[in-house]
Amino acid sequence: MTFRLAPDPGLRRWDGGRTLAGGSPFRVLRLTAAGAAMVDGWIAGEPVTAGAALAQRLVRAGIMHPSYDQAQHGPGDVTVVIPVRDGDVSGLFAALDAPAIVVDDGSRQPIPGAAIRHETARGPAAARNAGWRLARTPLVAFLDADTVPEPGWLEPLLRHFEDPAVAAVAPRIRSTPGKTALARYESTQSPLDLGDQPGLVQPGSRISYVPTAALVVRTSALRELDGFDEEMRFGEDVDLIWRLIAGEHLVRYEPAAVVEHAPRPRWTALLRQRFDYGTSAGPLAQRHGDAVAPVRASLWSAVAWALILAGRSGAGLAVIGAAAALLTRKLGKLGIPAHEAIRLAAHGNLGAGRVFADAIGRAWAPVAVPLLLLSRRGRAVLALVLLRNLLDWARKRPPLDPIRWCLARVADDLAYGCGVARGALRSRSPASLLPFLTDRGGRSSVQVSR
């Protein structure tokens, strides 16, 4: 297995390359001089020959990303499974270069050419399970009926299966361009589009899940887990991914492969979709605990922001300063200059503030918004929460004016938050609403290892 490594854009190095920081969750690694020299070579483009254990350590930390010169698997080793209900798969079929199994999940009019037909709808999990169990290939590619892969989409994904630890790889799913306001909104705010940077999928990280609207999985891994949980109507894809990871498998996101996904036809359909996604948080929390937490931050950051929002800015800044001092001392022993440690602490605390703002405006919105509206200070907090939408518009520059884009974001977030509340009530547990707080100071998710 010949492969090369590319550094994650967030990677930083100090002390002659012996100290590395980056990844998601953020962590700091200390290398030997020989290890640092190997990393120098890999960054310069040398293939990984010696030092495979170190290379895998960096890959699993999300600090570097692998690329493979060739793939042992081709399209003939993949069976495409397409679950469909009352949809048209002709456009998808025209774009495929691998054999396909169509599962008709209770369509009102039977789908021509379907290998399996459910007389009544049993849900996406059951449809996908029925399809992959017919596969006789080592890999299965799940594609939703409203997707269309770009030419050559499989090749970048198949190369990752050179690593036997990799059980699943997901492409980038981009919303199909359109002229309507809804299509323009989804072009930059689709929950299926996880961005243009590759990465390892891990709960609580930058890429915490990948959807099965487009996903390639080892058939053996599906067999090991008995496929999707058919008791879950929504979130069954996230559940599968997290069970794979819990079983010590690797799941990767590869945006070099692109699949287009049709936007929702109406705003009501989009809001219903977001609400349904939110309802999955309760069942996911029952199965995976704090992996679904709407906030992941350090206790220091949580206390600091609580004090600042309560009007005790001096005390909040004092907490931030104390956390920064502790982090500076801790990282200084690893060769990280004081000014860089302070920068990391500041970045972490600002990031934690953004995470809390996201939770207030999204997962916690049905409870937080009415309560905050009752006081002047609360309304000021809400104004800051709404400001994040305008900042996102300025950063993303979507093909939609800021007023309509921000209004759509608010409706999007509220629909999801209402779904989370509904899921929590159904599961009779607040677990999906609870934050996950660590006792580490400074940057919210700093991990140090040697």
Tens digit of each residue's pLDDT (9 = 90 or more) over 386-444: 999 999 999 999 999 999 999 999 999 999 999 999 999 999 999 999 999 986 544 44
Distance CA 182, CA 179 (A): 8
Neighbours of 338 (CB within 10 A): 13
The model's confidence at residue 310, banded by pLDDT at 50, 70 and 90, is: confident
The residue-averaged pLDDT of 75-99 equals 88
Asked if 48 and 4 count as a contact pair (C-beta separation under 8 A), the reply is: yes
Is the pLDDT at 157 greater than 80? The verdict is yes
Prediction pTM value? 0.92
Identify residue 34 by its one-letter amino acid code. Answer: A
- pLDDT tens figures, 240-255: 999 999 999 999 999 9
- pLDDT tens figures, 335-344: 899 999 999 8
Per-residue confidence (pLDDT) for residue 440, from 0 to 100: 54
Distance CA 52, CA 73 (A): 22
Which of 131, 149, 139 has its CA nearest to residue 94? 149
| Burial class, 141, CB count within 10 angstroms (exposed 0-12 / middle 13-18 / buried 19+) | buried
Mean pLDDT value across the chain: 92
CATH H-level, domain 75-263: superfamily: Spore Coat Polysaccharide Biosynthesis Protein SpsA; Chain A (3.90.550.10)
| Burial class, 417, CB count within 10 angstroms (exposed 0-12 / middle 13-18 / buried 19+) | buried
Is the pLDDT at 63 greater than 60? The verdict is yes
Would you tell me the crossing angle of helices 281-288 and 267-279 to the nearest 10 degrees? 20
Distance CA 103, CA 144 (A): 11
The residue-averaged pLDDT of 263-274 equals 95
Per-residue confidence (pLDDT) for residue 91, from 0 to 100: 79
The model's confidence at residue 65, banded by pLDDT at 50, 70 and 90, is: very high
CA max distance for the chain = 68
Q: Is the dihedral of CA 211, 215, 219, 221 positive or negative?
A: negative
Distance CA 156, CA 150 (A): 12
Q: By three-state DSSP, how is residue 402 classified?
A: helix
Per-residue confidence (pLDDT) for residue 438, from 0 to 100: 84
Asked if 416 and 362 count as a contact pair (C-beta separation under 8 A), the reply is: yes
For the chain, the structural domain boundaries read 3-68, 75-263, 296-445
Is the pLDDT at 105 greater than 80? The verdict is yes
Is the pLDDT at 199 greater than 50? The verdict is yes
- pLDDT tens figures, 26-62: 889 999 999 999 999 999 999 999 888 999 999 999 9
Asked if 149 and 82 count as a contact pair (C-beta separation under 8 A), the reply is: no
Asked if 311 and 300 count as a contact pair (C-beta separation under 8 A), the reply is: no
**Could you give the residue ranges of the DSSP H alpha helices within 280-401?**
281-288, 299-309, 313-332, 338-361, 365-372, 376-396
The model's confidence at residue 445, banded by pLDDT at 50, 70 and 90, is: very low
The residue-averaged pLDDT of 348-369 equals 94
The residue-averaged pLDDT of 12-39 equals 92
Per-residue confidence (pLDDT) for residue 69, from 0 to 100: 86
Distance CA 176, CA 183 (A): 8
Is the pLDDT at 3 greater than 70? The verdict is yes
Distance CA 219, CA 296 (A): 33
| Helix or strand run (H / E) with residue 115 | none
What is the DSSP code string of 197-236? --EE--TTSSS----TTEEEEEHHHHHHHTSS-TT-SSSH
